[in-house]
Amino acid sequence: MATSMQKLVGVSQEDDEEEMEMDVKEEDDEDEENGEKQIAAQMMIGVDEVMPSTSSSDQFQYQPQLQEQVSNQSGGGGARRSRPLEEKERTKLRERHRRAITARILAGLRRHGNYNLRVRADINDVIAALAREAGWVVLPDGTTFPSRSQSSPAAGTSAGMTSSSSQMVSQQIPPPPATLQGVSSGYRTTVEYNACRMKGVFMPTPSHYDLSSTAPAQSLGVVADGGEQTERLPLIAGSTQVINDKQIIGLPTKLPERDFAGTPYVPVYVMLPLGVINMKCELADPDGLLKQLRVLKSINVDGVMVDCWWGIVEAHAPQEYNWNGYQRLFQMVRELKLKLQVVMSFHECGGNVGDDVCIPLPHWVAEIGRSNPEIFFTDREGRRNPECLSWGIDKERVLRGRTAVEVYFDYMRSFRVEFDEFFEDGIISMVEVGLGPCGELRYPSCPVKHGWRYPGIGEFQCYDQYMLKSLRKAAEMRGHSFWARGPDNAGSYNSQPHETGFFCDGGGYDGYYGRFFLNWYSQVLLNHGDRVLSLAKLAFDGTCITAKLPGIHWWYKAASHAAELTAGYYNPCNRDGYTAIATMLQKHGAALSFSCAEHHILEQQDHLREALADPRGLVWQVLNAAWDVSIPIASENAFLCHDRVGYNKILDNVKPVNDPDGRHFSSFTYHRLSPLLMERQNFMEFERFVKRMHGELLYTFSSRLLLFISISGD
């Protein structure tokens, strides 16, 4: 290893000398043509203007060479100008040969090492980038030292560097993973990104590698020779400012990270955009999608997830299905040797957080709804919610002679027949069955279109005639027909528990009527899931089916758990509302898809304390309910995530540390494919996340350097 390093360094130095010699000769030729005026101009301009095509490392060494060159030219350097033309040609040939070898080395790194390098990179760029990745600090002049040092070497080593050359280096080399304290590295945590996104402006945020997660510094403090702080230079993400004759302070140690090498392999899928299939059931952008899928395949993503919209496939008439766009999409996925997770989406898209397209329910269903609006969920004020069909018509023949459950089954059976070859070949690995709004098994208790805003408790959705019919029947069976009504003191969408007589501590939710009503309300949810999943199991026999639950974490610390109650989860402080759901899923061999795996990130926000939220407590209650009945757990992120802190939190939940039974999630779906994910730094972090989910060994500085040496040796 040491011998190889010495050879590598020696070759690099020789090559640099050859390149410098050639460049000097080229300048001699130019001097012959331009005369003494050109020489004087070269002495006045910067290094970058003299050699715009040279590498950053050559620029570091060129200034003394330039002085020597000018001296020779002004003091009788005519002997150098008289060199034979053949020698100049040989020098040019050697240079071309050297550049060809360098190009092959860099191509090998890009192809086999998954390493991003600029087009005109040289060996110094490679070594500097590797050192930065390992947590070392590499100054623009090449001075390198460990990040755990409390001060840099002599500040004078960076003197003489110009602004243009420093900016060139910063653009060519990716930012180090261990940045200087107080320097914004361009990374933003999920909470910070979402906050900036809602405000519509970008605010520089501290690097999440800083030792203090609450450090407010967003600029680089510099200290002059006398030790007095003189200025603070704001930094743009990924850029490096020139600091002459000053000293950098406050270099933190690299934060420890959990090693996931050798941990169980967890497949990673990426959710495709909502509008990947347009309303004509055609691929919206096949060429662009193909390029993105190839990029995902290059980092070993296992597959993609896609919504199969009821409102697109069966849009115009009952039992007339158009799968053309999905056929082309699935064929594209198969050719790339990716897997598929599909969602049977029986709800409308649009109007909820994150919806960027509008896909309504089928037109023929909307026509029925106009003549009979009772087929939709209804709140106490009589407002209809056409996002999905009411569970009260599961067994009512109001959809052109079919019940809602029969409509769902016919749709799933058509899909199974249409894509039989993809099931047989194992391309389709999982089917998520839509069971309510947003595809989740819950009531639409918090509709934004009706004015709900976080952290409102929501409202009960049981006032259509079919749900009230079921409630009357249950009350009569109990012997209290006057209980056939919804609570009249449960507040409105944006109420808080203590403001209502039903959800306040010791309120009506825990009385005789309250327990009866909530038991019936949650049982309707369970019965709906049981009916649809039993038919999904029949349609997709041999393929894993999944039901999705949301993470309703606000008011979790209140005694009533009001927001969960209105959503259909009978989970107050004295009752476990998720065990019954897990048992129902286990009955049908279905997995649980839970979208609250990273909600603990929200714990940093002040408004959670006001809403008595407990994301972590909710996560572990749901996970334990599922693991107690031994059903698989899949997960997806509920919020945008592009930073290492967010990914590490997801990894800790997907692969719990020190679990005595070695339990972990069965798969993870990233939500979702977008241009933001494809940005260079974001995608590099995502690639790292995928490797850790797969339990792979991450390349360290030494391993990448060994790879570089082995490729260069070939």
Provide the residue range defining the domain that includes 434.
Answer: 268-453+524-706
The residue ranking higher by pLDDT, 118 or 529, is 529
Q: How many whole angstroms separate alpha carbon 629 and alpha carbon 609?
A: 32
- In our burial notation (b when 16+ CB lie closer than 10 A, e otherwise), range 212-222 reads eeeeebbebbb
Q: What is the pLDDT of residue 710?
A: 53
Cα–Cα distances (Å) from 297 to 117, 270, 286, 323, 654, in that order, read 20, 11, 16, 25, 22
Whether 383 is in a domain gets the answer yes
Confidence of residue 452 (pLDDT cuts 50, 70, 90): very high
Confidence (pTM): 0.66
Q: What is the pLDDT of residue 245?
A: 38
Whether omega before 455 lies within 30 degrees of 0, making that bond cis, reads yes
Tokens standing for 499?
């403001």
Helix ranges (DSSP H) in 186-343: 190-199, 286-298, 310-313, 324-335
Whether 688 is in a domain gets the answer yes
Listed residue (592, 304, 276, 593) closest to 429, CA to CA: 304
Task: Judge contact between 262 and 305, C-beta under 8 A.
Answer: no
Confidence of residue 657 (pLDDT cuts 50, 70, 90): confident
Q: What is the pLDDT of residue 47?
A: 34
- Bridge partners (DSSP) of residue 146 are 136
In this predicted structure, the answer to whether residue 681 has a pLDDT above a threshold of 70 is yes
- How confident is the model over 199-208, as pLDDT tens digits? 333 333 333 3
Tokens standing for 276?
């990947």
Task: Judge contact between 374 and 390, C-beta under 8 A.
Answer: yes
CA 353, 355, 358, 362 torsion-angle sign: negative
The residue ranking higher by pLDDT, 588 or 250, is 588
Q: What is the pLDDT of residue 297?
A: 96
In the predicted model, what is the mean pLDDT of the chain? 77
- Burial class of residue 44 in the structure, from the number of CB atoms within 10 Å of its CB (0-12 exposed, 13-18 middle, 19+ buried): exposed
Q: Are strands 136-138 and 144-146 parallel, antiparallel or unpaired?
A: antiparallel
Work out the widest C-alpha separation in the chain, in whole angstroms: 116
Confidence of residue 699 (pLDDT cuts 50, 70, 90): low
Q: What is the pLDDT of residue 254?
A: 52
Mean pLDDT within 568-597: 93
Q: What is the pLDDT of residue 251?
A: 40
CB proximity list for 390: less than 8 A, separation 6 or greater? 374, 375, 376, 377, 378, 464, 466, 467
Cα–Cα distances (Å) from 624 to 23, 552, 568, in that order, read 69, 16, 19
Tokens standing for 702?
């030494």
3-state secondary structure 12-27: HHHHHHHHHHHHHHHH
Whether 696 is in a domain gets the answer yes
Mean pLDDT within 500-521: 97
Cβ–Cβ contacts within 10 Å for residue 609, how many?
10
Q: What is the pLDDT of residue 175?
A: 41
Whether 247 is in a domain gets the answer no
Whether 19 is in a domain gets the answer no
- How confident is the model over 459-492, as pLDDT tens digits? 999 999 999 999 999 999 999 999 999 999 999 9
CB proximity list for 358: less than 8 A, separation 6 or greater? 348, 349, 350, 351
- Indicate the helix (H) or strand (E) that contains 304: strand 303-309
Q: What is the pLDDT of residue 129?
A: 74
Q: What is the pLDDT of residue 88?
A: 83
Confidence of residue 171 (pLDDT cuts 50, 70, 90): very low
**Share above pLDDT 70 across residues of the chain, in percent, rounded to a whole number:** 67
Q: What is the pLDDT of residue 697?
A: 85
The residue ranking higher by pLDDT, 514 or 141, is 514
Q: What is the pLDDT of residue 659?
A: 83
Whether 384 is in a domain gets the answer yes
Q: What is the pLDDT of residue 31?
A: 44
Residue 395's domain is classified under what CATH number? 3.20.20.80
Whether 631 is in a domain gets the answer yes
The residues assigned a catalytic role are: 440, 636
Confidence of residue 110 (pLDDT cuts 50, 70, 90): low
Mean pLDDT within 100-104: 78
- How confident is the model over 311-363, as pLDDT tens digits? 999 999 999 999 999 999 999 999 999 999 999 999 999 877 667 789 999 99
Listed residue (53, 50, 58, 73) closest to 17, CA to CA: 58
Task: Judge contact between 412 and 540, C-beta under 8 A.
Answer: yes
- How confident is the model over 47-81, as pLDDT tens digits? 343 333 444 444 434 344 444 444 444 444 444 45
In this predicted structure, the answer to whether residue 406 has a pLDDT above a threshold of 50 is yes
- How confident is the model over 177-232, as pLDDT tens digits? 433 333 333 334 444 434 333 333 333 333 333 333 333 333 333 333 333 333 33
Whether 112 is in a domain gets the answer no
Q: What is the pLDDT of residue 146?
A: 74
Q: How many whole angstroms separate alpha carbon 273 and alpha carbon 329?
A: 13
Q: What is the pLDDT of residue 97?
A: 83
Q: What is the pLDDT of residue 205?
A: 36
Number of domains in the chain: 1
CB proximity list for 607: less than 8 A, separation 6 or greater? 455
Q: How many whole angstroms separate alpha carbon 139 and alpha carbon 169?
A: 10
Cβ–Cβ contacts within 10 Å for residue 705, how many?
20
